[in-house]
Amino acid sequence: MSSIDADRLVLDPALELQRQELAELIRRHAPSEMGVESAIEGLYLTRHEKSVRSMPALAQPALCILAHGSKEVSLGDEHYVYDPLHYMVVSVALPISGVVLEASPENPSLGMRLDIDPAQLNNLIADAGPMAVPASPSGRGLYVERTDPLLLDALLRLIRLLDSAKDIAVLAPLIRREILYRLLRGPQGYRLHEIALSNSQTHRVCKAVEWLNQHFHRPLRIDELAREVNLSSSTLHHRFKAVTSMSPLQYQKQLRLQEARRLMLNDGLEAAVAGYRVGYESPSQFSREYSRLYGAPPLRDLARLRNAL
């Protein structure tokens, strides 16, 4: 945490006490490095004792909070930083990468991720009725917002359940619902609200994202995808880029190259085979686009990754 951020936390003693408790809970329930899937469905605790860059991956909708340290997340050419004063929300599936900026064995980065279930979000909106969510132009499917003490209080009550396992089944769903409610009522809650509205353009873009995630290996024809989600081709292209920062074709390339990298690194596939598996017919095109995204051709990139492990 920077000295400026520390000074701001001191000015809000209640928020600082919440942060300290959250850090202690994460430290206790995530005693070793990396991520831990907790006994609460969809709740993951993270601990990093050194600055580390994560592999590019497809991030699913989630709320991310840090109790200590800071992290930078990259979406295309855009960069977002969050810390104990700011939470991050991913509202649609996005190909992102991240780097832990501040961490050491003495002061590890401590954080948590709570997956957001779109079905639960839809049910909450249906049950709550009109929520007076501010109407604003839709934007990225990823945003950073100032930490809210009410939201942090609900998160603390959720994590405390890890110390009383018998209460998880009954109380965790109720608290998760409250957390969704707090996010919807937050300054940028409209970003979550609009993806749940079946007649909104953003909801249709989410459907296009889902289709691409399931069929990224197939040739992409924008006209067909637009008909699939009931949008014009031009509207789909414009709205898709507004939400994801990239065109549908660029999004598909990210998915293909991430999966090919995983296949080569984890399954030992040769570059040509991995490229073919994810939809490339030309090995040279695969190598060219791979180099453009990762800064090196497949063999050199994989050697670099293995040396870093």
Q: How far apart are CA 197 and CA 125, in angstroms?
A: 9
What pLDDT does 52 receive?
81
Question: What backbone torsions phi and psi does residue 86 show, to the nearest 5 degrees?
Answer: -140, 135
What pLDDT does 11 receive?
53
| C-beta of residue 209 within 8 angstroms of C-beta of residue 93 | yes
202 and 181 in a single domain? The answer is no
Q: How far apart are CA 127 and CA 230, in angstroms?
A: 27
26 and 94 in a single domain? The answer is yes
204 and 189 in a single domain? The answer is no
What pLDDT does 7 receive?
44
| C-beta of residue 90 within 8 angstroms of C-beta of residue 61 | yes
Q: Nearest 5 degrees, angle CA 146-CA 98-CA 63?
A: 40
DSSP 53: B
Helical spans, DSSP H, in the chain = 3-10, 13-29, 118-128, 149-160, 168-184, 190-195, 201-215, 222-228, 233-244, 248-267, 271-277, 283-294, 298-308
Domain boundary among 139, 160, 195: 195
Question: What backbone torsions phi and psi does residue 244 show, to the nearest 5 degrees?
Answer: -105, -10
Through-space distance between the first and last CA atoms of the chain, rounded to whole angstroms: 26
Q: Give, for all 309 residues of the chain, the pLDDT tens digit.
A: 444 444 444 457 888 999 999 999 999 999 887 778 899 999 999 999 988 888 788 999 999 999 999 999 999 889 999 999 999 999 999 999 999 988 898 899 999 999 999 889 888 988 876 665 655 556 789 999 999 999 999 999 999 999 999 999 999 999 999 999 999 988 888 888 887 776 788 889 999 999 999 999 999 999 999 999 999 999 999 999 999 999 999 999 999 999 999 999 999 999 999 999 999 999 999 999 999 989 899 999 999 888 866
Domain boundary among 168, 195, 222: 195
Q: Which domain CATH number covers 256?
A: 1.10.10.60
Tell me the per-residue pLDDT of 211-250, one tens digit each, with 9 for 90 and over: 999 999 999 999 999 999 999 999 999 999 999 999 999 9
Q: How far apart are CA 308 and CA 159, in angstroms?
A: 33
191 and 266 in a single domain? The answer is no
What pLDDT does 2 receive?
44
202 and 146 in a single domain? The answer is no
What pLDDT does 130 receive?
64
44 and 145 in a single domain? The answer is yes
Instruction: Find the domain containing 249 and state its range.
Output: 198-309
Q: Which domain CATH number covers 115?
A: 2.60.120.280
235 and 250 in a single domain? The answer is yes
203 and 281 in a single domain? The answer is yes
Tell me the per-residue pLDDT of 93-104, one tens digit each, with 9 for 90 and over: 999 999 998 889
Q: How many CB atoms lie within 10 A of CB 268?
A: 10
Q: How far apart are CA 82 and CA 17, in angstroms?
A: 19
Q: Give the residue from 100, 84, 101 showing the smallest Cα distance to 10.
A: 84
- When divided into structural domains, the chain yields a total of 2
